[in-house]
Amino acid sequence: MTHHLPSKRRLLGKVAVITGGARGIGAATAKAFAENGAYVVIADILDELGAKLADSIRGRYVHCDVSIEGDVERAIQLAVNWKGRLDIMFNNAGISGPEGSITNLKMEQLMALLAINLNGVVHGIKHAARAMIEGKTAGTIICSSSSAAIMGGLASHAYTLSKEAILGLARSSACELGVHGIRVNCVAPHGVPSEMLMSAYRRFLGNQNLQPEDVSKIVGEKGSLLRGRGGSLEDVAKAVLFLASGDAGFITGHNLVIDGGYTSASNQMSFIYQG
Ligand SMILES: NC(=O)c1ccc[n+]([C@@H]2O[C@H](COP(=O)([O-])OP(=O)(O)OC[C@H]3O[C@@H](n4cnc5c(N)ncnc54)[C@H](O)[C@@H]3O)[C@@H](O)[C@H]2O)c1
């Protein structure tokens, strides 16, 4: 009997740039891409972490502040100079931004957040699309949105606004770029214990010793339809890998929500399913 094992090398020879790839979701995705045969450029502002990770996956690291258009352009240029093409762009860099009441929102803080979370994605789509069109590469672009873009009350006002805007931009870009065979999609993670989420929870709960397992447990209990099952960095990396691969060849303009169903249904009234 012949066994048809799925090929592990789903991105063999593909060239990818990952912004915010030094740690968290971006780093988990960089590893998954490399394990699947891709050449990965990590673009971040955490130079030491980023360079170390790039070395370990035989990738490249470039210092890139996504709020600066020229930095993003240079990161993409590095990929093109290195391997002659760009197949995958993961616009993942983001920050959590100012918390507190809308009545106290400081406009300069909002603008500073948008410069990274939103302009960073605009820069990424713009220059990745240029490189892909020029190189006649039917590439794929993936952007990090959030469950906060779907349901209110999950993050700060500024962050929520930025993540919702990304969905609109990804859809309009998918519309324009489809003619070149370029797919543009989003992922919307929820409650994944990265540094970003851990530092927010440590502040909210006033507990500096909080560990990722503790946050997973809270999310699994309160923020997931799959009781007891919170999300992990790898859950998101696998979803991004899918969207980046040919398996998602007919999927564009989509937002893949990775939230254990949390934003799809409220289980407050699940008693109606008893009996
Ligand atoms: N963790 C979650 O639950 C969750 C949920 C929804 C969305 N997201 C999104 O996922 C993405 C990754 O976040 P994470 O959770 O892994 O957090 P993280 O803080 O661990 O990673 C963010 C990465 O982005 C980098 N970065 C920040 N500002 C940058 C800039 N100006 N230029 C370049 N790089 C920059 C950081 O150095 C870091 O490596 C973000 O866009 C975040 O909004 C995360």
On the question of pLDDT at 1 being above 80, the answer is: no
Q: What is the mean pLDDT of the chain?
A: 96
Tell how far the Cα of 121 is from the centroid of ligand 1, in angstroms.
12
**Structure tokens, 99:** 């918390």
Query: Which residue of 25, 190, 236 sits with most ligand 1 atoms within 8 Å of its CB, as the best mutation to test the pocket?
Result: 25
How far apart (Å, rounded) are the C-alpha atoms in residues 106 and 140? 36
What are the CB-based long-range contacts (under 8 Å, 24+) for 175-178? 175/253, 177/129, 177/132, 177/133, 177/141, 178/252
Residue-level pLDDT at 263: 98
Residue-level pLDDT at 4: 59
pLDDT bucket at 275, cuts 50 / 70 / 90: confident
Residue-level pLDDT at 97: 86
pLDDT tens across 190-247, in order?
Answer: 999 999 999 999 998 999 999 999 999 999 999 999 999 999 999 999 999 999 999 9
Q: Closest Cα to atom 38, ligand 1: which residue? A: 20
Residue-level pLDDT at 3: 58
Helices (H), the chain: 24-35, 47-56, 69-83, 107-117, 119-134, 157-177, 195-205, 212-222, 233-244
Query: Which residue of 67, 194, 233, 257 sits with most ligand 1 atoms within 8 Å of its CB, as the best mutation to test the pocket?
Result: 194
Tell how far the Cα of 3 is from the centroid of ligand 1, in angstroms.
39
How far apart (Å, rounded) are the C-alpha atoms in residues 272 and 275? 8
Active site annotation includes 39: no
Whether the CB-CB separation of 84 and 14 falls below 8 Å is answered with no
% residues pLDDT > 70 (the chain)? 97
Whether the CB-CB separation of 98 and 109 falls below 8 Å is answered with yes
On the question of pLDDT at 5 being above 70, the answer is: no
Residue recorded with tokens 């990770």: 53
Coarse DSSP helix, strand, coil percentages of the chain, rounded to the nearest 5 percent: 50, 15, 40
* Lowest-confidence region among 4-8, 105-109, 255-259, 268-272: 4-8
pLDDT tens across 53-72, in order?
Answer: 999 999 999 999 999 999 99
On the question of pLDDT at 2 being above 60, the answer is: no
Mean pLDDT of 4-22: 88
Whether the CB-CB separation of 260 and 224 falls below 8 Å is answered with yes
Indicate the length of the chain as a whole number. Answer: 275
Residue-level pLDDT at 168: 98
Quick one: which of 140, 7, 132 has its CA closest to 76?
Answer: 132
% residues pLDDT > 90 (the chain)? 95
How far apart (Å, rounded) are the C-alpha atoms in residues 11 and 36? 5
* Lowest-confidence region among 62-66, 96-100, 107-111, 182-186: 96-100
Q: Closest Cα to atom 9, ligand 1: which residue? A: 144
On the question of pLDDT at 7 being above 90, the answer is: no
On the question of pLDDT at 149 being above 80, the answer is: yes
On the question of pLDDT at 106 being above 90, the answer is: yes
Quick one: which of 136, 173, 134 has its CA closest to 252?
Answer: 173
Cβ(22) – ligand 1 distance below 6 Å: yes
Residue-level pLDDT at 182: 98
Cβ(64) – ligand 1 distance below 6 Å: yes
CA 150 to chain centre: 15
Residue-level pLDDT at 87: 98
Tell how far the Cα of 93 is from the centroid of ligand 1, in angstroms.
5
On the question of pLDDT at 133 being above 70, the answer is: yes
How far apart (Å, rounded) are the C-alpha atoms in residues 178 and 182? 5
- What DSSP character marks residue 267? -
